[in-house]
Amino acid sequence: MNYIVSFCLLCVMSACSPDNGNTGARPPGDGGETPDPTPTEKVLKDAAFPVGAAIEPRYLDNEAYVNLLKREMNSISPENAMKMDAISRGRKQYDFSGADKIVDFALDNDMRVHGHALLWYYITPQWIKDFQGDKDDWIEIMEEYITDVVTHFKGKVTSWDVVNEAVDDDGNIRSNDIWYQNIGEEYIALAFEAAHKADPDAILFYNDYGMVWSKTRRDKICEMVVNLKKEGVPVHGIGLQMHINTDTPKENMTTSLAAAAACGVYVHVSELDVATNPSNSPTATYTRERAEKQKASYKAMFEAFGTIAQDKRYGITFWGVADNHSWLSLRPDWPLPFDRNLKKKEAYYGITETFGE
């Protein structure tokens, strides 16, 4: 009896009962007599482009996590440790401890570090919210922060998300961004220039969400990046966050990646996760069906990324490693390629299946 037939029988017998809890485990075999459904010796970093994960400093205290990262990833992004609220304690006061821990680990293990993110409207330290000054003063504190942080990591951090989420869903520059409110749209160009001046070798990204589902967002982001480049502003890449779900059509993935590549810059899938509970049901459980749909989505994403020109592929970064640490795990969901026990899920095999021989 081959695996598929035996699994279907199991499935009927058990009515495909879901795993208990947020385990994200692969479905059971039939007692070890049948082969692995998708045997592979490959690891994620065998892809034809860098593959990374967003991590927190505390993960590095866990040996199993560390071993997984070394085995599977060749790029690292700090999930939160390089955000302004993590680093900035006041004007010219910095706490780099968490970020340094991640950077040292990555460099010790020959991994690329992608810095995330110098400016993000959503996370603003209180001292900046309280800051009083005219436009020039605001430019000064912004440039000072960027200069100090990029200089601290110069030669260690390969690339930066310089500006994160500056565009709103109507295709305008986000008006609830404190830098926009105090400096105007010019803050974007000035931020890239400051980062470039501090580390001329760093690859600089504009990062945003929703290019996968909104043409308005795609067009605006591309127009902005192309215009910045025309003005000589050092912007080298577009990061597509890619927080998708199992209902996201593959066509949207290919279209958005092609659109970003057509802007003439590197393309980074910078925050990939695939939610398996798109309707956000509070009673959802991790079923065989969710696992298979998620596998198809991850596979589609890696295939779609492979369709853009090789010299534009900056890489794919997962937004986390294991389901239980995902930023989406406040609701029932299982968005990542590893389960809470760091076991490979079906999604993992969907990815490695795309690597060819």
Enumerate the active-site residues: 165, 271
Shortest distance in whole angstroms from residue 22 CB to ligand XIL: 17
Shortest distance in whole angstroms from residue 79 CB to ligand XIL: 5
Residue bearing tokens 């290919």? 254
In the complex with ligand XIL, the residue whose CB is nearer, 123 or 258, is 123
Task: Please give the distance of CA 313 from its chain centroid, rounded to a whole number.
Answer: 14
In the complex with ligand XIL, the residue whose CB is nearer, 27 or 210, is 210
Residue 97 makes CB contacts below 8 A (sequence gap 6+) with: 57
> Coil, helix or strand for 116?
strand
Shortest distance in whole angstroms from residue 27 CB to ligand XIL: 28
Task: Work out the burial of residue 270: count CB atoms within 10 Å of its CB; fewer than 13 is exposed, 13-18 middle, 19 or more buried.
Answer: buried
In the complex with ligand XIL, the residue whose CB is nearer, 164 or 294, is 164
Q: How far apart are CA 281 and CA 275, in angstroms?
A: 12
Residue 126 makes CB contacts below 8 A (sequence gap 6+) with: none
In the complex with ligand XIL, the residue whose CB is nearer, 248 or 354, is 248
Q: What tokens appear for 300 in the block?
A: 């589609």
Specify the DSSP class assigned to residue 324.
G
Shortest distance in whole angstroms from residue 156 CB to ligand XIL: 20
Residue 290 makes CB contacts below 8 A (sequence gap 6+) with: 246, 276, 277, 284, 334
Determine the residue with CB nearest ligand XIL: 327
Shortest distance in whole angstroms from residue 306 CB to ligand XIL: 24
Q: How far apart are CA 121 and CA 159, in angstroms?
A: 20
In the complex with ligand XIL, the residue whose CB is nearer, 309 or 330, is 330
The one-letter code for the residue type at 324 is N
Tell me which H or E stretch contains 141: helix 135-152
Task: Please give the distance of CA 60 from its chain centroid, rounded to a whole number.
Answer: 19
In the complex with ligand XIL, the residue whose CB is nearer, 164 or 214, is 164
* Residue ranges that bind ligand XIL, judged by CB under 6 A: 79-80, 164, 241, 271, 327
Q: How far apart are CA 205 and CA 357, in angstroms?
A: 32
Shortest distance in whole angstroms from residue 60 CB to ligand XIL: 16
